[in-house]
Structure 1
Amino acid sequence: MRHQWHALLLPLLSVSLAFAGPADGEVGRLTANLPFKMVAPQPPVFPDRSFLITEHGAIGDGHTLNTSAFAKAIQTCAQAGGGRVVVPPGVWLTGPVKLASNIDLHLEYGALVLFTRRFEDYVVTDAGGQRVVVSPIMAVGLENIAITGHGIIDGSGDAWRPVKKSKMTATQWKNLVASGGALNPAGDIWYPSKEAMTPGSLEWMRPHMVQLTECKRVLLDGPTFQNSPMWNIHPLLCEEVIVRNITVLNPWYSQNGDGLDLDACRRVVVYRAHFDVGDDAICLKSGAGEEARQRGRACEDIVIRDCTVYHGHGGITVGSEMSGGVRNVYADNCVFLGTDLGLRFKSTRGRGGVVESLFFNNIYMRGIPTDAIGFTMSYGGEAPDEMPGTDEPEVTIPPVDEGTPRFRDIHFRNIVCNGARRAVRLVGLPEMPIDGIEFADITLSALIGFECLYARGVRITKATILPQAGSVFNIADSADIVIEKAKYPAGVEVFLKLSGRKTGRISLIDIDMSQAGKDVVFERGASPDALLRRSRSRK
């Protein structure tokens, strides 16, 4: 009787996304008046017809495998010219689902799509010369596709993921080990099975949960995406992507449990999304190494607005795979609560690529365990955790080549953080300093203040930096730095510490340093001549 009612009601309730005029206006508003030119992505439009998966044999009892029913419903809808494939309330166990062009996979309230834990239902395939496991949800070379509604998509990632002992409490670890699986020889990493410990095995090659490759006009609107084997949502080489109103969840200890990874994508708008994940929440990438540089496909024309991130390694992250470049990014009105690092930028020698024309406005943070804003060009390698001391040896500077990453023309305005370990950490490379970074109207409270190593062309205007100890600003081997109208807590030990023989052309403008124990300290070969000018140094 229930399905009869669905059959009667669907013609009345089914709504074509052709009504997307308001959505077009909304996306248009979110992409208007940007500091770079961007053509707003258009949402997909579908015919006004719907197909229930139950009409193709699906049973939502949580143990019947519905892989065939999903495939038949999608195929029938595609053959009819497209429309909406409807997943009604229930627990729908299934193997991998392959989308088709002109299809909206729609999850009603109460629908849980649960991907099987049986590894035999996942096959290994070739993708660009690499062996990969097919993803639970996949689309390759499609146009006009969507995943919408208010249901939940669960990737059964706990059947795939290793877990590090250091990421769990003693009780959690004890219970996990008692549940079965296998431990590595050191006994500090748990695997779901011995097979999962073997490189190259199917169990070891964890898939991304939602893999969208070379697709155009993509909409993700409404569902919860959770418990992914690897990254949660991975659009790769996609164009015209709209992501809104989604929730992305992974356990905080989930290895590589990213939220949304936009990889060499163009014309993307992400808004009103919530993330609570085990790795980077919103991540911008463009591939790694020579192949990505030759492809020359940047991640570009990206707008991120009105998003909330709870746990994650980074609230918004750029890199580390950015060999194709990242440019024209605008993020506005986002909140990070307890995120490991707020705004995160990472790369390393050998990656190459140019990251430029990035704008971050109105970002609000609280309880950040590391850096509110952090740059490192030594990701995965040797990066100084603290600034160089007076006895720091000279470093050997390698030549600049195509593998040298470049970060430049990046702007931060109205950034507020209540509590972090460090306010700002800019660490470039001696052969390629971070260049052209602007901070305006920022207020950051932290244990440690603003640190800068291997940077040039940094301008800091109307910044309130509130460290609990040490110096407000610590600048090493950097040049062409302007600090204007900065505020700091009374009684701070040092306002500005300069170090390194390559530090020079530092300007202080309209700053009262009389409330600091010392105004400027020179260390590790820094010359007093490095200070180009002072204005209102002491009352």
Structure 2
Amino acid sequence: MKKLLFISFCIAACGLGAQAQTAGPYSWSNLPKAAVPTFKKDTFNIIKYGAVADGITLNTKSINNAIDACSKNGGGVVLIPQGLWMTGPIVLKSNVNLHIDRAAMVQMTDDKSQYPLVEGNYEGHAAVRNQSPVSGTNLVNIAITGGGIIDGNGTGVWRAIGKDRLTESEWKELVASGGVVSENGKSWYPSQSYAKGNAIKDVSLLKPGKSLSDYEEYKDYFRPNMVVLTGCKKILLSGTTFQNSPNWCLHTLLCEDLTLQDVHVRNPWNAQNGDAIDVESCRNVLVENSTFDAGDDGLCIKSGRDEEGRKRGVPTENVVMRNNIVYRAHGGFVIGSEMSGGARNIFVSDCTFIGTDIGLRFKTARGRGGIVENIYIKNISMRDILHEAILFDMYYMSKAGSTLGLKTFPPVTEATPQFRNFYVSNVACNGAETGIFVRGLPEMSIKNIYLENMVLKADKGAELIEANNISLKNITLESKNTKPLINIENSTQIKLDNIKYTHAEQLLTIQGERSAQIQLINTNTSNAKTKVEFTSGAESKALIK
């Protein structure tokens, strides 16, 4: 009976229309568009450049020579035909479509000497990295297409892993293969070089007066992102599987007109920093009809970190992500935490998240700065979410602490982040720890969040902390822990409209002397043993009719 009720709730929620919304020049009926590259039909088969598909021969020169020849000839298609192709780093060139046949696997070599140290960018900072398996910089008109596979050889070669993320037999096998076990016995590192780098804080940051050679003893620690495209325009990734990345899988930085269609990312669930795709400081982006199985965040928006990101000042904007599936990631759709350049005009629809730690995940922290605004999300299905179905948190990787009774706040500066103007509708989640969690800063509330037409089956209902102008409308909360079903702390202008639930020990708790202008309307309170409790300085006048 409960299953039938949940299904009927989902049908009802998804059948209700979202309120009309616009994001600057864009709306759901007029979405941002990305220009798509076009290519000459000339084909350059890597076999003609000496490539051998035996899984042993290193084909780095052959593949890159074919790419160079294609680009110099005005562009076209570089064909990687059927076979197992071992290679080192591949460097893309303008006007080249790297086409990987459905029956082809491009296997990145485990010989780390093939990946020289380079000046790169990681987690929003200029950083030392090993050269990426696939890269391109300041290119125009590029693509990776075809139904084949690019394997980054991350497992056992590049990535560290914790003992708690393996079975006992898997741990014993890994230790026996070589590498280094940490002093406390809880982690495995692929080499002593990695272990040295891991022991030094911010070892990868490029420091004035140092050359790349100064970082050689820590080389193995600087795991490369698998595909890195920087400063490129008119990009297409279509049909290809990208798997087993050393670090992030797909990283686009400062790019324009990016299209991903029918792309597949496959990383082990325990792949450290195994993000599926990180779109950083890019504009005009379309990601559709793709599947992501990630060891970290799935669909992720970034724009630089802290002061360095603010100086760059390039937001990720004009993005459409639709008809995608995300498995086992830390977050299904994510913004942050490196969002210091801002993010805006982002549309996410018709996506499914299965077994992710968090469903919709928006994270930042003091020091980041940046404004994230005009985010539009609808038609999201989730199942077996480990923690929050919907999370807004401005205390990422930092201790929050209670703001109850707090009289003085840190000043608002350019380093103060802002989340505002989010519109999320038609969400169904079957299984989560918490349905909705919103936590802003006392000096900068999370503002203007509109959540509508949802069915959230979770252990706990909703919690709103340091929030302003939050609307929950037509929300069904099927929760086990209902004392309270909804907790509000030091928040203002909260509108709870048509909240549905089966039973609640306590429907609402309002905490903090700064809580005010809270409305509970069109809601049946008879199924709650206690309607509302005011604590920690909150007054009854905070709840208005």
Q: Taking structure 2 as the reference length, what is the TM-score of the superposition?
A: 0.89
The 1:39/1:282 distance shift into structure 2, 3 A limit, reads closer
Aligned-residue sequence identity (percent) comes to 42
Aligned to 1:132: 129
Contact 1:62 1:93 in 2 (8 A): yes
Equivalent residue for 1:481, pick from 480, 488, 494? 494
Distance 2:72 2:444 in 1: 54
Contact 1:264 1:324 in 2 (8 A): yes
Aligned to 2:530: 518
Shift of 1:393: 5.9
Contact 1:210 1:233 in 2 (8 A): yes
Aligned to 1:536: none
Larger relative contact order (CA 8 Å, sep ≥ 6) = 2
Matched, 1:144 2:159: no
Aligned to 2:386: 369
Aligned to 1:196: 194
Contact 1:466 1:472 in 2 (8 A): no
Shift of 1:396: 5.1
Secondary structure class of the residue paired with 2:390:
strand
Distance 2:335 2:161 in 1: 25
Residues 401-412 of structure 1 aligned to structure 2 (within 5 Å): 401-412=413-424
Distance 1:372 1:431 in 2: 26
Aligned to 1:5: none
Matched, 1:382 2:379: no
Moved over 4 A (4+): 35-39
Equivalent residue for 2:338, pick from 303, 311, 321? 321
Matched, 1:423 2:438: no
- After superposition, the C-alpha distances for 1:235-285 in whole angstroms (9 at most, x for unaligned) are 000000000101101111111000000000100000011011100011000
Secondary structure class of the residue paired with 1:469:
strand
Distance 2:408 2:130 in 1: 42
Aligned to 2:406: 394
Distance 1:320 1:131 in 2: 21
Shift of 1:180: 1.5
Aligned to 1:17: none
Distance 1:531 1:501 in 2: 12
Distance 1:402 1:508 in 2: 35
Look up the equivalent residue of 1:77 and give its one-letter code. Answer: C
Distance 2:162 2:396 in 1: 20
Distance 1:51 1:74 in 2: 8
Distance 2:392 2:182 in 1: 33
Look up the equivalent residue of 2:116 and give its one-letter code. Answer: V
Aligned to 1:11: none
Equivalent residue for 1:298, pick from 285, 307, 315? 315
Distance 1:225 1:395 in 2: 51
Matched, 1:100 2:93: yes
Shift of 1:489: 1.2
Q: Taking structure 1 as the reference length, what is the TM-score of the superposition?
A: 0.90
Secondary structure class of the residue paired with 1:398:
coil
- After superposition, the C-alpha distances for 1:273-331 in whole angstroms (9 at most, x for unaligned) are 10111000110000001121122100000100000011100000000000000111100
Distance 1:481 1:312 in 2: 31
Equivalent residue for 1:227, pick from 244, 259, 262? 244
Residues 111-510 of structure 1 aligned to structure 2 (within 5 Å): 111-127=104-120, 130-158=127-155, 159-199=157-197, 200=215, 201-383=218-400, 394=406, 397-470=409-482, 471-490=484-503, 492-510=504-522
- After superposition, the C-alpha distances for 1:153-181 in whole angstroms (9 at most, x for unaligned) are 00111211010122222332222222221
Distance 2:118 2:29 in 1: 39
Aligned to 2:206: none
Distance 1:234 1:459 in 2: 34
Distance 1:524 1:445 in 2: 29
Distance 1:436 1:291 in 2: 28
Contact 1:98 1:139 in 2 (8 A): yes
Look up the equivalent residue of 2:136 and give its one-letter code. Answer: A
Matched, 1:528 2:543: no
Secondary structure class of the residue paired with 1:429:
coil
- After superposition, the C-alpha distances for 1:60-108 in whole angstroms (9 at most, x for unaligned) are 1000000010011101111211000000111100000000000000011
Distance 2:512 2:385 in 1: 29
Look up the equivalent residue of 1:482 and give its one-letter code. Answer: K
Aligned to 1:14: none
Distance 1:298 1:457 in 2: 24
Distance 2:407 2:432 in 1: 30
Shift of 1:467: 1.1
Look up the equivalent residue of 1:216 and give its one-letter code. Answer: K
Contact 2:405 2:536 in 1 (8 A): no
Look up the equivalent residue of 1:526 and give its one-letter code. Answer: A
The 1:310/1:330 distance shift into structure 2, 3 A limit, reads same
Contact 1:343 1:374 in 2 (8 A): yes
Secondary structure class of the residue paired with 1:485:
strand
- After superposition, the C-alpha distances for 1:95-131 in whole angstroms (9 at most, x for unaligned) are 0000000000001111000011111101112247642
Contact 2:317 2:346 in 1 (8 A): yes
Look up the equivalent residue of 2:193 and give its one-letter code. Answer: E
Secondary structure class of the residue paired with 1:73:
helix
Contact 1:67 1:97 in 2 (8 A): yes
Contact 1:36 1:328 in 2 (8 A): no
Residues 3-82 of structure 1 aligned to structure 2 (within 5 Å): 34-35=27-28, 39-82=32-75
Aligned to 1:13: none
Contact 2:451 2:471 in 1 (8 A): yes
- After superposition, the C-alpha distances for 1:513-534 in whole angstroms (9 at most, x for unaligned) are 011111111111110010011x
Secondary structure class of the residue paired with 1:331:
strand
Secondary structure class of the residue paired with 2:51:
coil
- The count of aligned residue pairs is 496
Distance 2:463 2:478 in 1: 13
Q: Which runs of 5+ in 2 are unaligned?
A: 1-24, 198-214
Contact 2:295 2:330 in 1 (8 A): yes
Look up the equivalent residue of 1:204 and give its one-letter code. Answer: Y
Distance 2:28 2:36 in 1: 23
Look up the equivalent residue of 1:155 and give its one-letter code. Answer: G
Distance 2:405 2:167 in 1: 40
Aligned to 1:24: none
